[in-house]
Structure 1
Amino acid sequence: MDVDMVTKSEHFQIPKEPRFGCEVDEEEIQALIESQENRNTKKNTRWSYNIFESWRRERNAQCQGPELLIPEIETMDAVQLNFYLGRFIRRVRRKDGKEYPAKTLYYISCGILRYLRDREIHDKNFLDAADPRFAGFRKILDSKKKDALSRGVGGKRKQADPILPEDEAVIWEKGIFGMNNAETLQYTVFFYCCKLFGLRGHDEHHSLECNQFLLGEDNRGKFIDFTGRSTKTFKGGLSHKELHNKQIRHYCQPGISITRNIQRFCKENQGKLFMKKCLAGEQCRYYNVIHVHVVGKSCKDIYTTIHTCALISNHTHTDQFNHSHAWKQQ
C-alpha cells in the first residue's frame, strides 16, 4: 500500500519547469498577432480608412440637419454601409482632385474591409459576391472601375527597369562587385541574393541569416542551398497551408566565384544577421545591424554608377530570377 502511494505521488509531481510554460494573457496574444502583421498592409489600412473618414466629415459639414449626418463606419448596419460606401466610391478623389485608378478603388475598399475586421466586425464583408446585402455597393464599384479604365485613368503602370547582362558585366568591370573591401562584398552578395534566390523586399534582406545558406558538393558539382523563411507573399499561416517556403539549389559553373563571396561574407558576419554596416578600409569587416530602409538603397547605390535615369528598385532583379538558375564560378 505504501509503495502505491509513493508511486502515485511521484507520478503526479508537478515539474519545476512546466512543459507548456506559464499561462498566456491577452496582451501576449495581441503582441503575437501584431508582430506578424505586414507594416505596409497596416499602413494601407489606415490610409484607406482616413480617406473614407475625410469624405464622411466633409459630407457631414455640408449637412443641413443632424438627422442627415453620416455615422462612423464602425456603427453602421448593413443597409447604411451598402448605401454610404457606394456614395463614397462614386465621389472619392485624390487630394489634388484627380481620380484614382481602377485598381486603387478596389484597394481602398479592401483597406476599409480590413479596418472593420481589425475592430472585430466580421459579419459585413461587402466584397463577398455571395452576400446580397451589399450588391448595390459592388455594382457601383464594378461600374466605377470599368468607367475609369475606359477613360484611361491610371492606365500607365510604373515599372522598374530591368538589369541587363551587359550592365552586370560593367558593374564587375568597375569594381563595384568583388571582395576588395567590405562594401563591394556586401553589394555582391545583395545582388546575387536578388538574382539567384528571388529576394526583393527590404525585410527579406534585412532578416537574412547565414544559416539559411548551405554550401556543398555532389556528383553534379558545387552548389548553394538556400532555405527561405516568411516573406511578403508567404507568411506560413492558415491561408498558406498548401504553400512552402523557398527551397532553392543553384549549381556552379565556370565563371564568377559567387560561392566564395557568400562563404566569405558569412564568415566575416560570424553567422549573425546578414546585412551589416561596412567598416572603412580594405578589409572585409562589419559591425552593427543596418536599418531596413538602408538595405533598400543598395539597388540604387549599385546602379547609379551605370544608370543615371533608370527606375531602380528591388523588383529590378525579378525578371532575372525567373530565368536565372545557374551562375558561374572561377
Structure 2
Amino acid sequence: MAGTAHPTFTAAEPGQGQKDSDAVSPRVYPSRSETDIDITHRIGIKDTIQLFSDLLEEEQYYYPDSQTSRQQILWWDIYRRKGTNGPNSQGQHDIDTKPTPIPQSSGSNNNNNTGSIERYGNCQASNEEMNDFIRNQIPKNTIRKHRTDINQLRTWLNLTQSEYREIHLIPPNELDQLLSKYFYSTRKRDGTEYEPETLHSFFNSIDRVLRENKYQWSVKTDAPFEGTRRVLAAKKRNLKAMGKGNAPNKTEPLTADDIDELYNTGQLGMHSPSALQNTVWWFLTTQFGLRGVQEHYNMELGDIVEGEEVIHGDSVKYIEYNIERQTKTRQGENPRNTRKIKPRMYEKKANSDRCPVAAFKKFIKMRPKSMLAVDSPVYLAINYKVCGDGNWYKNQRLGINSLRGLMKTMALAANLSGKKTNHSARKTLVT
C-alpha cells in the first residue's frame, strides 16, 4: 500500500447507503494527515486485511470528486466499522467530506445521472446470449476450418472405429488411443499423405473444440495425451523425410513482368469498370498491406481519406488508410496492437496511367451517389448495362466470392504462370 495522505470522510446517516447493523458509536474517522501505513499500524494488519476483503464485495458509496479513489473509500469504511481513533494535530477529527449513497434508478431518462441504468446497455443478457456473442467474434474462416476438420475426424471414428460419441464425451485414455491411431493412419481422399502442417492444423482444431466444450484435459499439454503428441511428432518427422513439408502449393508473388502483362492485357487500368476496380484492389493491397479478401470486404469508404503534403517543395496528393478494422493479427483483444503509422499511397505525376491516387479518384467518380456515404462498401458489383460516363457500378456490394477470385481471374486472363491468388498481391509487397 502506498503511503499517501487521504482526504477526510464522514458517515452517511443510517438508510443512506449503510446498514443499521454497521453503525458504530462513537463514530471515529481518519484525520486528513493520516496515511495508509498509519492506518495499518493503528488497527493491525490482520484486522485490516479481513475488513478490506469483506468490503471488496459490498461497496456502498461513490464520490463525485474524481480525486477520491476506490481505495480511499474502502479505507474510510474500514474506519467507520472499526471505530478506531485517529486524531489530527489538535486531537480532533477533521470531518468535512460526506460520501454520497449510490443513486437508485428512478426510471427517468436522465443522461446526467451517473447511476442511470441506460448507460449500462443490455445488462440482463443471458449466458446463452453472451456465448453467442463470443462465438460471433470468431473469424468465419476459422469456424469453417474447425468444422471441416472435426467432421473428418468424426467420419474416421465412425467408419474405422465404430465410435459415435462426440470427442468431448470420450474419456481421456480412450481418446488418446483413438487420436494416436488417427494421426498415424489418416490420408487424403486419393490415398496420399497430408503435409505435416495440415496434420498440425487438425491437432489445433481438435484442441479448440475440446476447450470450447470445457473438456477437463488439454491435448497439447496434459499427460493423458502424451501418446497423441508423440505419434504426431513422429508422423511429421516421417513426412519430412519423405520430402513433404516444402509447401508445394504455395502462392507465388508477381514479378515486374507479370504486372506489366496485367496492364497490357487490360486486367489493370482505368478504361473499364472491372479493370478500375481490379486496380484499386491491387493498390490497396500492395500499398496498405491488406489481406486479399476479408479486410477488403469489411472496408468502408470512410476508412480512406484524401490529403496533400509538401515534399521537397512540391505539393503531392495522397490517399491514407485512416481507420483500420479487425484484421487477422489485430483482432482487437489488445488495444495497443495497432498500426503505429497510418499507411499512405502517393500520386505518381510522371506515370498517371499507373497512379494510385488517380485510379481511386476515378473509382469514386464512377460510383452511384447513393454509394458515396462514409459507411458505403468500397467494392461494388459492376453495372454492365451502362456505357460511357454513366455509373459503372450498382448500388450493391461486390460479393465476397467475386472478391476472393479477383487475382485468379486476372492471372488466367493474362496467362500468367505459377499459382496466383489474392495472397500473391500481398506477397509482392514484401518481396
State the TM-score, normalized to the length of structure 2. 0.64
User: Which residue of 381, 385, 405 corresponds with 1:277?
Assistant: 381
Question: 1:286 aligns to what?
Answer: 393
Q: Matches of 2:335 and 2:230 in 1, distance apart?
A: 33
Tell me whether 1:224 sits opposite 2:319 in the alignment. yes
Question: 1:35 aligns to what?
Answer: 136
Q: Matches of 1:192 and 1:108 in 2, distance apart?
A: 35
Q: Matches of 1:199 and 1:217 in 2, distance apart?
A: 23
Question: 2:357 aligns to what?
Answer: 259
Partner SS, residue 227 of structure 2 = helix
**Structure 1 residue 303: deviation in Å?**
2.6
Partner SS, residue 304 of structure 1 = helix
Question: 1:165 aligns to what?
Answer: 256
Question: 1:54 aligns to what?
Answer: 155
Mapped contact 1:86–1:140 kept (Cα < 8 A): yes
Judging changes above 3 Å, is the alpha-carbon distance between structure 1 residues 292 and 12 closer, same or farther for their aligned structure 2 residues? closer
Partner SS, residue 216 of structure 1 = strand
Tell me whether 1:243 sits opposite 2:345 in the alignment. no
Mapped contact 1:100–1:154 kept (Cα < 8 A): no
Mapped contact 2:252–2:420 kept (Cα < 8 A): yes
**Structure 1 residue 21: deviation in Å?**
2.4
Mapped contact 2:250–2:419 kept (Cα < 8 A): yes
Letter in 2 for 1:79: N
Q: Matches of 2:104 and 2:167 in 1, distance apart?
A: 56
User: Which residue of 192, 200, 204 corresponds with 1:110?
Assistant: 204
Judging changes above 3 Å, is the alpha-carbon distance between structure 1 residues 303 and 58 closer, same or farther for their aligned structure 2 residues? closer
Q: Matches of 2:381 and 2:358 in 1, distance apart?
A: 20
Q: Matches of 1:242 and 1:127 in 2, distance apart?
A: 29
Q: Which moved more, 1:151-160 or 1:180-189?
A: 151-160
Letter in 2 for 1:126: V
Mapped contact 1:127–1:138 kept (Cα < 8 A): yes
Letter in 1 for 2:253: P
**Structure 1 residue 56: deviation in Å?**
1.9
Mapped contact 1:279–1:285 kept (Cα < 8 A): yes
**Structure 1 residue 159: deviation in Å?**
1.9
**Structure 1 residue 96: deviation in Å?**
2.4
Judging changes above 3 Å, is the alpha-carbon distance between structure 1 residues 11 and 54 closer, same or farther for their aligned structure 2 residues? closer
**Structure 1 residue 180: deviation in Å?**
2.9
Mapped contact 1:217–1:223 kept (Cα < 8 A): yes
State the TM-score, normalized to the length of structure 1. 0.81
Mapped contact 1:210–1:266 kept (Cα < 8 A): no
Judging changes above 3 Å, is the alpha-carbon distance between structure 1 residues 52 and 297 closer, same or farther for their aligned structure 2 residues? closer
Correspondence 1:47-196 to 2 at 5 A: 47-61=148-162, 72-121=166-215, 123-128=216-221, 131-153=222-244, 155-196=246-287
Mapped contact 2:180–2:227 kept (Cα < 8 A): yes
Question: 1:326 aligns to what?
Answer: none
Q: Deviations over 1:42-93 (max 9, x none)?
A: 12212222222222223344xxxxxxx6854222233223232222212222
Q: How many residues align?
A: 305
Q: Matches of 2:172 and 2:329 in 1, distance apart?
A: 32
Q: Matches of 2:189 and 2:274 in 1, distance apart?
A: 42
Judging changes above 3 Å, is the alpha-carbon distance between structure 1 residues 174 and 157 closer, same or farther for their aligned structure 2 residues? closer
Judging changes above 3 Å, is the alpha-carbon distance between structure 1 residues 120 and 180 closer, same or farther for their aligned structure 2 residues? same
Mapped contact 2:345–2:356 kept (Cα < 8 A): no
Answer with 1 or 2: which has the greater Rg: 2
Q: Matches of 2:177 and 2:262 in 1, distance apart?
A: 57
**Structure 1 residue 209: deviation in Å?**
1.0
Judging changes above 3 Å, is the alpha-carbon distance between structure 1 residues 282 and 298 closer, same or farther for their aligned structure 2 residues? farther
Partner SS, residue 277 of structure 1 = strand
**Structure 1 residue 314: deviation in Å?**
0.6
Judging changes above 3 Å, is the alpha-carbon distance between structure 1 residues 303 and 51 closer, same or farther for their aligned structure 2 residues? closer
Question: 1:198 aligns to what?
Answer: 289
Letter in 2 for 1:233: T
Judging changes above 3 Å, is the alpha-carbon distance between structure 1 residues 134 and 216 closer, same or farther for their aligned structure 2 residues? same
Q: Which moved more, 1:95-104 or 1:106-115?
A: 95-104
Letter in 2 for 1:249: R
Partner SS, residue 282 of structure 1 = coil
Q: Deviations over 1:270-289 (max 9, x none)?
A: 13111111112233432111
Q: Deviations over 1:117-155 (max 9, x none)?
A: 23232x321112xx3332222111111110111122454
Partner SS, residue 343 of structure 2 = strand
Q: Which structure has more helix as a fraction of its residues?
A: 1
Judging changes above 3 Å, is the alpha-carbon distance between structure 1 residues 101 and 297 closer, same or farther for their aligned structure 2 residues? closer
Q: Matches of 2:196 and 2:300 in 1, distance apart?
A: 40
Judging changes above 3 Å, is the alpha-carbon distance between structure 1 residues 189 and 92 closer, same or farther for their aligned structure 2 residues? same
Question: 2:407 aligns to what?
Answer: 299
